Amino acid sequence: MEALVRANQHHAPSYGNDNYTASAIRKFREHFGTDAEVYFVYNGTGANVLGLHALTRSYNAILCSSFAHIQVDESTAPERILGCKLVTIPAPDGKLTVEAIEEKIQQIGDPHHAQAKVISVSQCTEYGTVYTPDELHAIATLARKHNLYLHMDGSRIANAAVSLDAPFRAFTTDVGVDVLSFGGTKNGMMFGEAVIILNPAVAADFPFIRKQGMQLHSKGRFIGAQFDALLTDNLWRQNALHANRMAKLLEAQLREIDGVTITQPVQANGVFARFPAEVIEPLQQEAYFYEWDEKAHEVRLMCSFDTTEQEIRSFASRLQALLA
Amino acid sequence: MEALVRANQHHAPSYGNDNYTASAIRKFREHFGTDAEVYFVYNGTGANVLGLHALTRSYNAILCSSFAHIQVDESTAPERILGCKLVTIPAPDGKLTVEAIEEKIQQIGDPHHAQAKVISVSQCTEYGTVYTPDELHAIATLARKHNLYLHMDGSRIANAAVSLDAPFRAFTTDVGVDVLSFGGTKNGMMFGEAVIILNPAVAADFPFIRKQGMQLHSKGRFIGAQFDALLTDNLWRQNALHANRMAKLLEAQLREIDGVTITQPVQANGVFARFPAEVIEPLQQEAYFYEWDEKAHEVRLMCSFDTTEQEIRSFASRLQALLA
Amino acid sequence: MEALVRANQHHAPSYGNDNYTASAIRKFREHFGTDAEVYFVYNGTGANVLGLHALTRSYNAILCSSFAHIQVDESTAPERILGCKLVTIPAPDGKLTVEAIEEKIQQIGDPHHAQAKVISVSQCTEYGTVYTPDELHAIATLARKHNLYLHMDGSRIANAAVSLDAPFRAFTTDVGVDVLSFGGTKNGMMFGEAVIILNPAVAADFPFIRKQGMQLHSKGRFIGAQFDALLTDNLWRQNALHANRMAKLLEAQLREIDGVTITQPVQANGVFARFPAEVIEPLQQEAYFYEWDEKAHEVRLMCSFDTTEQEIRSFASRLQALLA
Amino acid sequence: MEALVRANQHHAPSYGNDNYTASAIRKFREHFGTDAEVYFVYNGTGANVLGLHALTRSYNAILCSSFAHIQVDESTAPERILGCKLVTIPAPDGKLTVEAIEEKIQQIGDPHHAQAKVISVSQCTEYGTVYTPDELHAIATLARKHNLYLHMDGSRIANAAVSLDAPFRAFTTDVGVDVLSFGGTKNGMMFGEAVIILNPAVAADFPFIRKQGMQLHSKGRFIGAQFDALLTDNLWRQNALHANRMAKLLEAQLREIDGVTITQPVQANGVFARFPAEVIEPLQQEAYFYEWDEKAHEVRLMCSFDTTEQEIRSFASRLQALLA
């Protein structure tokens, strides 16, 4: 916010040719390597779809988890903008495995069928789990073997880095990710995400893809300034550390409550749990959360950079009270 | 073929404004009702995709079997041309059930998710099975309840009509199908399919959809004349009767062979069977067929209007010999 | 900016279900009528293209000036996202006339040709001129006569309202505009534009169009709060009044300089002028401006809400000095 | 037709893997060079749009005459399927000139604007005129200079070859055309056009583009057999020679009639003329023709492979009689 106030004080060149943007890009390159091409867009759907645009032609298929944000939460933007088919892969804990992916790489060369070209993973996954660098490296190796690209939806990438206690590049640049969506909004920004192109061979036409995709901001400095602040003094890390810690605290509190089952490993800032059906609605009055699987009464509880310990404890108490 | 020779003899107005086309449309309306709008296109993919175009906007989802031709065999044409997401439904015998469909009609009104708008069934199904009129009526009722449309891929509709021993309209117009692809090529034509719009409310812009979809033939009389011939003296019926009979003969022959398992009910012109792995390739030399499921060694054997008894018997003998 | 700081202080529901957004929409309806549906998007290209999406199907043509932003400055977003053809109309002063438009409404009903469906005007125009309410009413009447819609690109609509000294609705709702892009960024906002749907018959699917078009902001309150502030105490009007006054001042200064020709009536915040070729580049060092027509050495000088008198006078002096 | 009857007599592999198709492709390569990749599609719109698909990405512009078939007669198929903008160039006699094209190659590298990537010429042009090899070579040279491709709509290419008395390759392969639509329907076929890719660098993904574009024929032998016949014993040449001769005869007859003005050089099989307004409609009863420019009463008279001398003379007599 302070970064925005500062960015608001002077005139600046438009469309991202400003100093804030230049500084933010420099900082991104410290994390991802000097070859990284960095482009700012408005939102997560824009980042994912346009990043995938750089990797596909319209007769391609994109392999992803059946829970992937691009499959479940982006309307038909991937199909409509890319023309591609999303081929979904079961991933009970949110993570794709080499075996499950390989089963879907079929009929390459046969024009009757959508041609697999990209594997898209989410880091953290939609189930709040986190791929290890080794797991991602194995997937990238599979991708290379079949002449596919590896895309990463990193809308919560900061939470993954904190969870792995590893630098960003250890599980992106170094393992062979080609294109990455780097989340800003979920890490505290008002608006703005970054598409980071790690494979220089697919970077050339992104400026055209972004403009055509209606994601080029005229006053680009307002995204640049926010990312610049986020990457300064490890602000991103503090935000994500806090959110992950709150999730751990929530998990601990929930484990002590009879009738509640934690359904996924808590590795980042999300907790998945089964609640008795009757408490869900009254509890949502306390603090809104998403009922992930209505049949199983499985809920998704997300902690963010500004969730407080007090909120966690009050949520757990309220749940206790409802169950009593 | 004779029909084409005749159609070739004189000048005729172009783009379907000719007498052959008019006559064919008249005959289609005898089958499907006077409200049916009939448009000729080039191929099955064109018929399906453009028929679905009349029923959708680009943020919609189309529900279909995971084996549906539109899902499996039309590259990304549905996604690219329509923008829509195909949502697949398990259908072990090729047929969708009301229960399985209803489970996928979710989150209507929520813009984050593709909005279900069409149920697409194949008649015959890709597994050679045939929906009864009652089954289709139940699906159409479900569609109406949820404000969806019902689309039918009828590339083998003649085989279904023969199998049911019912007029076309008994399982299309009368049960509530909105748009139908009526197959010509698989019933003996050189080229040409028909899109039959049974719901007048969605018919108005099909001429524009067809032209934009690159499926308007300038010398339309050559499709019209073939359909006209097919619908004269029940030629379509003779063709399909013959193909279905050949499938029954093939089934009977295969049932007598040890080591062969028939995997689906034989209701039309296709036979699905499991063969011992080692005979598949040598047998394909005899007569090419498609290995439907490579892991299960399940094969798809299709009979057509010009398959002969001799061919069936020779195929079965060869299989016997290979197994001996 | 202060509005953003306030909006940042508390949690709020996401995706536009917050109080800031509700308040801004209420204020928009005071201006445009209670039937107006108001949706916030990220940028001008998004507002124009998605607003047009609500009015078209993919076989349509959109009639616009050959200088229109949608034709010249939005890459191929209109073609790619809408599928439509843009049909351009000569407009020497930026304004379409009834006669010029009518000449392009041709071959309606013939599927070989893109079907005209929308007239899109810019208010102010790209030449800084302003349609009178009567001119717009005549165009809307023409649109109704031919069953077309009227779309307005109002990225500088505040400047037009000030220029006409008329309420917004006098030249939008009251004359028959169907869909309007209401500019925020050019009136001082960090990001955010509004699509205002004045014809209720085309409003129903905009939420889906916006999400699919990747223009739905999760933290919608940050757009809502800015528009709310802009519409409070006529802040929009002060901003636009100032910009228009600066343009008048600039015009007056330029008219006193030999060798400079004003090429368009100065009706809002833009001044178009022909400069001697040799001064253009050195002058751009002083304050960047766009060379509108490189052959004619015609330049476009835009004044904004934060242009100062001092900047205008210094620019004029510098030009004088260069010419001396 | 005889070719079709023969092709109909035996079973053949589907989707173009048959001997007729192989033979036709061999003959095409004799004309266009051994590197030519040849793909059959259904119609002219399909050939043009999919050929252009091989040359473009969706943020590109295609430069063409304002009379080009792709601009005027293909609905919005180019925009919808390609995403590209068509940029039109005035061409009073149907032919683009290097100067007129170069004026439209602007703002390359600027993402705000559609990026010119293809020059598309028609040979013969829509005005019945024919580019010389030198003219085409100059355009190809311009294309190379600006890193653009050269596309040719050759729906009447046979008439152009006859007019130039030159082999096909003299004005295609040898001058630097990248992709060519080779017309079948206008040269006597029932259906079928060819996309000929002369630049091997853009050929690889055409099979996928064709299938996705709904232009792959399952019974491909029926297109292959027709092209095979057309290319045997110079049948194409006889057809085109005849049509061009008929146009010359028609021109000669019209030149003798007072009140008729020939408006374009008659170089192939089309004659453009201005008729007195009152005769146009009664004359269209005699033989339908297209009123090219309704304001100027300019008509387009096309001769085909089966136009007879008798028809020409009777048309001219009828015109005489109407004028008397």
- pLDDT tens profile A222-248: 999 999 999 999 999 999 999 999 999
DSSP state of C124: S
Model ipTM over 0.90: yes
* Domain, as residue range, for B264: 236-323
Q: Do residues D141 and D75 share a domain? A: yes
pLDDT at A2 over 90: no
Same domain for A205 and A292?
no
Q: Are C222 and A80 in contact (CB < 8 Å)?
A: no
Chains near C, with 3+ CB pairs < 8 A?
A: A, B, D
* B81 and chain D in contact, CB less than 8 A: yes
**Enclosing H/E stretch for D197:** strand D193-197
In this structure, are A156 and A54 located in the same domain? yes
C241 and C217, same structural domain? no
Question: Stretch C116-143: mean pLDDT, rounded?
Answer: 98
Q: What is the mean pLDDT of residues B235-248?
A: 95
What are the tokens at A229?
A: 């602040």
Same domain, D317 and D185: no
Please tell me the total count of domains within chain C. Answer: 2
Q: Look at residue B148 and tell me whether its pLDDT is greater than 80.
A: yes
Contact assignment for D205 to A112 by CB distance below 8 Å: no
Beta-carbon count within 10 A of A140 CB: 20
* A78 lies in the same domain as A104: yes
A282 CB contacts (<8 Å, ≥6 apart)? A322
Mean pLDDT of all residues belonging to chain A: 95
**Domain closes at, from B179, B205, B232:** B232
Q: Which residues pair with A182 in a beta bridge?
A: A154, A194
Q: Which of D196, D212, D232 is a domain's end point?
A: D232
Give yes or no: residues C204 and C104 share one domain: yes
pLDDT at D13 over 80: no
Percent of chain D past pLDDT 70, that is, above it, reads 97
Chain B residues within an 8 Å CB radius of C212: 58-59, 83, 111
Q: Tell me, yes or no, whether C78 and C174 share the same domain.
A: yes
Query: Are A280 and A299 a contacting pair, CB within 8 Å?
Result: yes
Is C15 in CB contact (< 8 Å) with chain A? no
Q: Which range has the worst mean pLDDT, B231-235, B249-253, C196-200, D176-180?
A: B231-235
pLDDT band at residue A67 under the 50/70/90 scheme:
very high
Please tell me whether residues C100 and C169 are part of one structural domain: yes
Q: How confident is the model at residue A9 (pLDDT cuts 50, 70, 90)?
A: low
Phi/psi region, residue C178 (left: phi>0; alpha: psi -120 to 50; beta: rest), is alpha
Question: Which residue of chain B has the CA closest to A108?
Answer: B75
DSSP β-bridge partners for residue B196: B38, B180
Closest CA relative to residue C151, chosen from C191, C129, C190, C182: C182
Burial (Cβ within 10 Å: 0-12, 13-18, ≥19) of residue B176? middle
What local confidence, expressed as pLDDT, does residue A318 receive?
94
* pLDDT, position B226: 94
pLDDT of the residue at D14: 82
Residue of A nearest to D217 (CA): A112
Chain A residues lying within 8 Å of C213, measured CB to CB: 77, 214
Q: Quote the CA–CA distance of B195 and B216 in Å, as a whole number.
A: 12
Tell me what pLDDT residue B257 has: 96
**Whether the predicted pLDDT of B130 surpasses 90:** yes
Secondary-structure percent of chain D, ordered helix, strand, coil, rounded to 5? 45, 15, 40
Residue B244 has pLDDT above 70, yes or no: yes
Work out whether strand A37-41 and strand A60-65 pair parallel, antiparallel, or are unpaired: unpaired
Asked if B58 and A80 come within 8 Å (Cβ–Cβ), the reply is yes
Q: Which of A269, A210, A206, A267 is nearest to A236 (CA)?
A: A269
Residue C168 and residue C260 in one domain: no
* Mean pLDDT lowest among A295-299, B289-293, D195-199, D283-287: D283-287
Q: Where are the alpha helices (DSSP H) in D192-264?
A: 206-212, 221-230, 235-255
pLDDT, residue C127, reads 97
Question: Cis bond leading into B124, ω under 30°?
Answer: yes
Query: CATH number of the domain that A303 lies in?
Result: 3.90.1150.10
Of B190, B208, B214, the CB nearest to D46: B214
* Range with the poorest average pLDDT among A114-123, A288-297, B12-21, C290-299: B12-21
State the average pLDDT over residues D71-75: 95
Q: Are residues C210 and C281 located together in one domain of the fold?
A: no
Residues C228, C282, single domain; the answer is no
Q: Considering the entire predicted model, what is its pTM?
A: 0.96
What is the distance in angstroms between the Cα of D305 and the nearest Cα belonging to chain C? Answer: 24
CB contacts < 8 A (B, D): 92
Mean pLDDT of C178-200: 95
Contacts of B256 (CB under 8 A, 6+ apart): none
Q: Inform me whether the C-beta atom of residue C116 falls under 8 Å from chain B C-beta atoms.
A: no
- pLDDT score for D68: 97
Average pLDDT over residues C64-68: 97
Picking from A232, A258, A278, the residue at the C-terminal end of a domain is: A232
